[in-house]
Structure 1
Amino acid sequence: MVVSLLEMLRSGGYILYARHGQANVGIDQPTVNFYDCATQRNLSEIGRNQAIYYGRIFRALQIPISFPVLTSPYCRTIETGALAFGSQNIQVDPFLMEIQNLNGNLSDPEKSRILNNLQSFLEVEPPNGTNRVIVAHSFPKGVGLGSIPYMGTVIVKPKGPGNGYEVIGRLSFSDFYKLATTK
């Protein structure tokens, strides 16, 4: 199955939603300042290495990507995207910070609003022959795309605006690494 998944990714048409690299340096302050990384959790050295290798793996596997790669405004997602794909190839999308908010104490209407926006976001097909990469956050278990390990990737097939999306598969960082070293 993994080999056929690789061929599908090489053909394009998917959204690759990745969680940022390992981030266990610092803590998210109650009032995060997106321009001050000292107010939030940041990538560890392991997380930085994961991000670098993640980008190398995409290039080694010849998976076509449409740029820019979208990230949330948190320093850990921006740094992950920049290390993997180059800082000139990333774009911050403020909506993606709302994924992190799902882990907090939100009202049901607020959770529904975020999940509805996520659905609309994941329905949009990337440019022909490419894949869109998003670097953001994990979800609470059973919500949205579910729990995602550091540098794990959920492969989503958009069905077009108003038509939903389908989760095709999930790859951990080690799954991607194995693909690159056995191709």
Structure 2
Amino acid sequence: MIRRALLLLILLSLPAAAQELVPVRPGTAAGDALVARLREGGLVLFLRHANTRGEACDRSFRVGDRAGQRNISAMGREQSAGIGRRVAEMGIPVEWPVHAGPVFRARDTAEIAFGAERVRVTDELLADDYAGERLEAVIAGHRRLLSAPVAAGVNRVLVGHRTPLIMIAGPAVGGRALPEGAFAVVEPGGGFRVLGVLELVPLPGGGFHGC
């Protein structure tokens, strides 16, 4: 309840946001345009962790307690592996290491998709529910990773949770704009801009849990 009230206050303080984004896929004009832009590099890919449907909701809110967390499902593990394959197949260049939050659903998604040896786990991408009194620092960490310049020819990949992104980018990435396993494609900078939402491995009827 406290987190949702804080989120509402943050959203009310933001400038009027664009209409909620609609996820797009390769094979459509909008999806192919995003992929073409990503091949040039210089962008940030914010990947919401993979599918968690059917898994128990968070209970302990302790980072190291896997049993007390909502984990990715068997389908989510397959989705994660598929995401890594699709990124490589589509020629989307990645800046290493990939950055992932420490809550297992984010960390597992990143490590399955890109390989554990290529993942840096960071509290800057911690889930908001796990941040407690550190929430302000966590939001600042998200903002830094989304805003810092990215070299041409590669894209920074962040794997985390959608609520911190909504807190920063506003309602355009809220609602059903960012399903589990989808990327928000971000143009970095001081006033970073979300260019769109890209689904490389969509799941039938998937993308949102009931917690």
Q: TM-score range by the shorter chain?
A: 0.7 to 0.9
Which letter does structure 1 place at the counterpart of 2:129? N
CA distance in 1, matches of 2:66, 2:147: 31
Question: For residue 73 of structure 1, what is the aligned residue in structure 2?
Answer: 102
1:156–1:167 Cα contact (<8 Å) kept: yes
Deviations 1:141-177 (A, max 9, x none): 9533433211011000012xxx2211111113456xx
**Cα-Cα RMSD:** 2.5
CA distance in 1, matches of 2:198, 2:180: 11
CA distance in 2, matches of 1:69, 1:100: 20
Compared CA separation, residues 8 and 58, structure 1 to 2 (3 A): same
1:26–1:38 Cα contact (<8 Å) kept: no
Answer yes or no: is 1:48 the counterpart of 2:77.
yes
CA distance in 1, matches of 2:145, 2:165: 20
Question: For residue 122 of structure 1, what is the aligned residue in structure 2?
Answer: 146
Answer yes or no: is 1:158 the counterpart of 2:188.
yes
Question: For residue 159 of structure 2, what is the aligned residue in structure 1?
Answer: 135
1:119–1:164 Cα contact (<8 Å) kept: no
Stretches of structure 1 lacking an aligned partner (at least 5 in a row): 176-183
CA distance in 2, matches of 1:140, 1:165: 15
SS in 2 for 1:125: coil
Deviations 1:37-92 (A, max 9, x none): 11211111110011000000001101000111111001111111111001111011
1:17–1:133 Cα contact (<8 Å) kept: yes
Q: TM-score, normalised by structure 1?
A: 0.79
Answer yes or no: is 1:30 the counterpart of 2:60.
yes
Answer yes or no: is 1:167 the counterpart of 2:194.
yes
SS in 2 for 1:143: helix
CA distance in 1, matches of 2:143, 2:117: 27
SS in 2 for 1:21: coil
Which letter does structure 2 place at the counterpart of 1:16? L
Stretches of structure 2 lacking an aligned partner (at least 5 in a row): 1-29, 203-211
Which letter does structure 2 place at the counterpart of 1:166? R
CA distance in 2, matches of 1:8, 1:171: 12
CA distance in 2, matches of 1:143, 1:96: 13
Q: TM-score, normalised by structure 2?
A: 0.69
Answer yes or no: is 1:61 the counterpart of 2:80.
no
1:12–1:131 Cα contact (<8 Å) kept: yes
SS in 2 for 1:81: helix
- The number of equivalent residue pairs is 166
Which letter does structure 1 place at the counterpart of 2:158? I
Compared CA separation, residues 174 and 79, structure 1 to 2 (3 A): closer
